[in-house]
Amino acid sequence: MPTFEHNIVVRAPQVWLFDLMQDYGRRLEWDPFLCEARLVEAEAAGLGVRAFCVDRAGRGMETEYVSFQRPDRVAVKMTRGPWMFRSFAGSWRYEALDAESTRVTFRYHVEARLRALTLGDRFLTMVMSRTMGSRLTVTRDRLEAIWATEREAEARATARR
């Protein structure tokens, strides 16, 4: 199964970032790729929990958490998804660089359904990897803006006490 990986450094603490990114009630605040994100029959993300996401092109995918190690990493596998995927799996790793910065590494494994076309996996991987690179710049900017806003609100609340 072909693999690709990208990472971003976000100016936000590891635990806060992990919690925000695994909160499906807030997923659309920072993920520019999706128009729908929800957990399936669950209140919070965790091992064995399923999630359903729909991208802006209308393609839906259900995944299941196969690893959930707060605040270090999560991994999911596709349980059902768009016709072009035979299989899909992904992991997100969170590495604290210091108290205010975290490197998030996104690693995805994809296998195209069209196995007769030997270039299917490479093409799908190339398209997804290219899209991921530009998407992560927007993601980083949104995550940092949310962190700054929440930190400012907390500072104002503390000053009022």
Taking residue 152's Cβ as centre, other Cβ atoms within 10 Å add up to 10
Q: What strands lie across the sheet with 50-55, from one edge to the other?
A: 3-10, 101-112, 85-98, 73-80, 60-69, 50-55, 34-40
140: pLDDT confidence band, cut at 50, 70 and 90?
A: very high
What confidence score (pLDDT) does residue 116 get? 54
The proportion of the chain whose per-residue pLDDT surpasses 70, expressed as a percent, equals: 89
Q: Residue 71 — pLDDT band, cuts 50, 70, 90?
A: very high
- What is residue 21's predicted lDDT score, i.e. its pLDDT? 98
pLDDT of residue 111: 84
User: Is the pLDDT score of 49 beyond 80?
Assistant: yes
Structural domain harbouring 108: 3-160
Of 8-12, 48-52, 157-161, minimum mean pLDDT range: 157-161
Number of domains in the chain: 1
Percent of the chain surpassing pLDDT 90: 71
Rounded CA Rg of the chain? 17
CATH of the domain at 11: 3.30.530.20
**Does position 46 have pLDDT exceeding 70, yes or no?**
yes
pLDDT attached to residue 131 = 74
**157: part of which helix (H) or strand (E)?**
helix 120-160
**Comparing C-alpha atoms, which of 108, 70, 73 is closest to residue 93?**
73
Residues in contact with 35: Cβ distance below 8 Å, sequence separation at least 6, in sequence order: 28, 54, 55, 56, 58
The mean per-residue pLDDT over the stretch 104-112 comes to: 90
